[in-house]
């Protein structure tokens, strides 16, 4: 079990309210990764409603894209197979802290070649129905780097840390985005 059933219910509620629908915007960030690694299969881990999956399949018809998201009934089962590549945009920070290591190990076990991950290192503007911030883990890029390397059989081949500041709209929403590309050892 990589998610608490009560937390999964909260995510399902938020998905039902349309709160996680921006995935297609991630295609521009993922495109250089897809062009470099040219995967034939890809898993979008934390796919929301599947917008990035649809965008990938439209832009790259040779790629078979699948998704997993515990808050979406259409994507709530983790595929048994492995994938050439795994992408995950703004998802790791939503993982429950007590399940983080096991989740990263699971993701690592599914990557055949490479992975692209964007991790938000700042509080979310959204809150869960129980009142907690939707970003359950807010840590530095250095902390996330260690977590990835300790729990996945990968080498980090590219890292990018960018400033993210929406404090003009939401006072707490500022920090960094941590993008990384990994390759299987």
Q: What is the pLDDT of residues 91-135, one digit of tens each?
A: 999 999 999 999 999 999 999 999 999 999 999 999 999 999 999
Q: pLDDT-derived band of residue 17, with 50, 70 and 90 as boundaries?
A: confident
Token pair of 7, please? 């937390």
Q: Residue 69 burial (CB < 10 Å; 0-12/13-18/19+)?
A: buried
Helix (H, G, I), strand (E, B) or coil at 171: coil
What count of other Cβ atoms lies within 10 Å of the Cβ of residue 94? 22
User: In degrees, to the nearest 5, what angle opens at C-alpha 40 toward C-alphas 181 and 141?
Assistant: 15
The pTM of the whole model exceeds 0.75: yes
């Amino acid at each position: 079990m990589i998610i608490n059933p009560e937390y999964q219910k909260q995510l399902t509620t938020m998905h039902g309210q349309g709160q996680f629908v921006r995935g297609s915007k991630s295609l521009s960030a993922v495109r250089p990764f897809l062009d470099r690694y040219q995967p034939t299969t890809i898993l979008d881990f934390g796919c929301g409603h599947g917008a990035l999956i649809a965008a990938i399949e439209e832009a790259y018809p040779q790629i078979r894209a699948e998704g997993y998201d515990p808050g979406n009934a259409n994507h709530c089962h983790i595929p048994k197979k492995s994938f050439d590549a795994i992408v995950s945009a703004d998802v790791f920070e939503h993982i429950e802290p007590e399940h983080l290591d096991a989740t990263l190990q699971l993701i690592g076990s599914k990557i055949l070649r490479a992975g692209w991950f964007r991790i938000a290192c700042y509080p979310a503007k959204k809150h869960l129905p129980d009142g907690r911030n939707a970003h359950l883990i807010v840590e530095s890029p250095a902390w996330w780097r260690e977590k990835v390397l300790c729990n996945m059989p990968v080498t980090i081949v590219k890292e990018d840390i960018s400033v993210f500041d929406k404090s003009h709209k939401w006072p707490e929403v500022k920090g960094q985005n941590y993008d990384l590309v990994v390759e299987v050892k």
